[in-house]
Amino acid sequence: MSTETHQEDCALGEPFLELRCIHKHFGAIQAVKSVSFTISPGEVIGLMGDNGAGKSTLVNIMAGNYPPSGGEIYMEGKRVHFSKPVHARKNGIEVVYQDLALCDHLSAAHNVFLGQELKKGFGPFRILDSETMYTVAGDLFRELKSETRPRDLVREMSGGQRQAVAIARTRLNSARLILMDEPTAAISVRQVSEVMELIKRLQHDGIAVLLISHRMPDVFAVSERIIVLRRGQIVADKPIACSSPEEVTGLITGAIERA
């Protein structure tokens, strides 16, 4: 864990986020073992691994949802402890959770704004500004080329529309890093390409993205770097140009030990 190796990793300048030797166990299960990597501003990283490799656990740690059992997280060189998801959000980290974290009984727009509702009026008489929330959410859905209607209840929505709601939520604040846990698992081919376009736009705006996906072509289309996780450990962390889908498949399954 010497500092020199880290500086080598970050050819793009000071990393936005750095994980050092992160561990996480649930009882006897070691979900994440000694994971270290950095994320630079505007960098798109593909994170791949088999089911149960520990990808979601890692996302939950970076999002402040699970406390790590061991290890340290640094943000722009400063040690941080996210004890609540709100802390991570305040520090510019937004998340698309694998299960999407939506409330079926609320409208799409109210889900997008959940926990950060727009209000109007003064003091104790502040009420929801639902009209503006509908408008803003509608704009975000249109930007994602999704037919999601802001007033519809989430329980009535298709998988793709639900995913659009979860992604739209990350666009409200000026995020600097967006963690996407399988954001394209339930959507159509056309919508997948919209998400890929969005990731490219985010990158262009200097927003880093950690993309977890099982879809090899998508990961190779947008990522600059690839990290492969196997049984909680990093077995590869390299520029995507130096890798290939065949190599990544081998790394995921264990046919290739390390790269």
Ligand X SMILES: Nc1ncnc2c1ncn2[C@@H]1O[C@H](COP(=O)(O)OP(=O)(O)O)[C@@H](O)[C@H]1O
- Could you tell which of another protein, ligand X, Mg ion, none binds residue 3, using a CB distance below 5 to 8 A set by kind? none
* Residue with Cβ nearer ligand X (47 or 109): 47
Q: Please report whether residue 56 would count as binding ligand X according to CB under 6 A.
A: yes
Residue 80 φ then ψ, to 5°:
-125, 150
Contact assessment for residue 253 and residue 59, using Cβ atoms and an 8 Å cutoff: no
Q: How far apart are CA 28 and CA 42, in angstroms?
A: 37
- Could you tell which of Mg ion, ligand X, another protein, none binds residue 216, using a CB distance below 5 to 8 A set by kind? none
* Residue with Cβ nearer ligand X (2 or 51): 51
Query: Per-residue x/- marks for another protein, 4-43, CB under 8 A?
Result: ----------------------------------------
Structure tokens at 22: 């992160």
Q: Please report whether residue 213 would count as binding ligand X according to CB under 6 A.
A: no
Q: Please report whether residue 186 would count as binding another protein according to CB under 8 A.
A: no
**Selected binder of ligand X within 38, 57, 130, 184 (CB under 6 A):** 57
Q: Please report whether residue 172 would count as binding another protein according to CB under 8 A.
A: no
Give 53's DSSP letter: S
Residues 181-201: b if buried by 16+ CB within 10 A, e if exposed: bbbbeebeeebbebbbebbee
Q: What angle do CA 198, 224, 17 make, to 5 degrees?
A: 85
Q: Please report whether residue 115 would count as binding another protein according to CB under 8 A.
A: yes
Long-range contacts of 219-226 (CB under 8 A, 24+ apart): 219/46, 219/48, 219/248, 220/46, 220/245, 221/196, 222/44, 222/46, 222/196, 223/44, 223/45, 223/46, 224/43, 224/44, 224/45, 225/43, 225/44, 225/45, 225/46, 226/45, 226/46, 226/47, 226/48
Question: 122 to 141, contacts with ligand X by CB under 6 A?
Answer: none
**Selected binder of another protein within 32, 58, 62, 102 (CB under 8 A):** 102
Structure tokens at 219: 């990961």
Contact assessment for residue 149 and residue 108, using Cβ atoms and an 8 Å cutoff: yes
Name the minimum Å distance from CB 230 to another protein: 27
Name the minimum Å distance from CB 179 to ligand X: 12
Q: Please report whether residue 184 would count as binding Mg ion according to CB under 5 A.
A: no
Stretch that binds another protein, among 29-37, 95-103, 199-207, 233-241 (CB under 8 A): 95-103
**Selected binder of Mg ion within 56, 107, 161, 170 (CB under 5 A):** 56
Please name the residue that has the structure tokens 């262009």. Answer: 204
* Residue with Cβ nearer ligand X (52 or 217): 52
Task: Kindly list the residues in this chain that would bind another protein in the complex (CB under 8 A).
Answer: 63, 65, 84-86, 89, 95, 97, 100-106, 110, 114-117, 119, 126-128, 130, 149, 151-153, 155-156, 169
Task: Kindly list the residues in this chain that would bind Mg ion in the complex (CB under 5 A).
Answer: 56, 98
